[in-house]
């Protein structure tokens, strides 16, 4: 399947969009945003941290009827994926901060993103530590991260993985930066797309 690529005003170099997506995937409270903040501090190229939570925060503050909420959330996630794809297609370096707690979200990203332009980062954290962080921060429903755990990493493939219970955000970001200097191929996204559609 050919990735859906937003139109841009400039010619793209062969083999990719010219942009880069550093895709941080992990449960709520796993430490993605803290890693992203450190990445923006140390990356050599101008970069944008674009978390999915920012898109939810931009939505109208009016209460959405319960029967409409699932569709509104679904459209928000789809729009988020397309915004990330558009930024990368325009040649930008993006730090994407997401929770793949529904299988369709990964499929959508696999269809949209140029696979060689994605560094897929698994952000892990043990359940007990996630629950402690939830209690400490107080702005997440209790048990949210635990409910997400089973699906978030179910696909099983990453380019690089971090455990935020063992390494602080600065060390995780430094490892990711070092990885960028010599990225192996095929990338995790290339392998996942082949797994999803062996005919590619």
| Structure confidence at residue 18 (pLDDT) | 82
Extract the annotated binding site for ATP: 26-33
Residue 145: which of 163, 133, 154, 156 has the closest Cα? 133
More confident residue, 172 or 53: 172
Model confidence band, residue 10 (pLDDT cutoffs 50, 70, 90): very low
Work out the percent of the chain whose per-residue pLDDT is above 90. 77
pLDDT tens-place string over residues 62-98: 899 999 999 999 999 999 999 999 999 999 999 999 9
Cα separation, 173 vs 22, in Å, equals 11
Check whether 177 has a pLDDT greater than 80: yes
| Structure confidence at residue 13 (pLDDT) | 46
Check whether 2 has a pLDDT greater than 60: no
| Structure confidence at residue 12 (pLDDT) | 43
Tokens (6 digits) for 98:
């997401």
pLDDT tens-place string over residues 132-163: 998 888 777 887 888 999 899 999 999 999 99
Just list the catalytic residues: 53
| Structure confidence at residue 197 (pLDDT) | 76
Extract the annotated binding site: 26-33
Check whether 1 has a pLDDT greater than 90: no
- Domain 20-196: assigned CATH number: 3.40.50.300
Cα separation, 129 vs 99, in Å, equals 17
């Amino acid at each position: 399947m050919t990735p859906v690529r937003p139109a841009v005003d400039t010619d793209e170099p062969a083999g990719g969009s010219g942009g880069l997506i550093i895709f941080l995937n992990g449960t709520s409270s796993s430490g993605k945003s803290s890693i992203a903040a450190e990445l923006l501090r140390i990356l050599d190229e101008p970069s944008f941290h674009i978390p999915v939570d920012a898109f939810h925060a931009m939505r109208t503050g009016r209460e959405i009827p319960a029967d409409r909420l699932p569709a509104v959330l679904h459209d928000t996630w789809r729009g988020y994926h397309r915004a990330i794809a558009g930024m990368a297609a325009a040649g930008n370096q993006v730090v994407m901060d997401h929770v793949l707690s529904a299988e369709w979200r990964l499929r959508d990203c696999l269809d949209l993103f140029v696979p060689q332009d994605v560094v897929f980062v698994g952000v892990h954290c043990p359940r007990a530590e996630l629950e402690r962080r939830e209690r400490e921060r107080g702005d997440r429903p209790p048990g949210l991260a635990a409910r997400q755990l089973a699906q978030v990493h179910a696909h099983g493939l990453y380019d690089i993985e971090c455990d935020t219970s063992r390494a602080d955000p600065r060390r995780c970001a430094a490892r990711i930066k070092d990885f960028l200097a010599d990225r192996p191929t095929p990338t995790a996204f290339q392998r996942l797309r082949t797994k999803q559609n062996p005919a590619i």
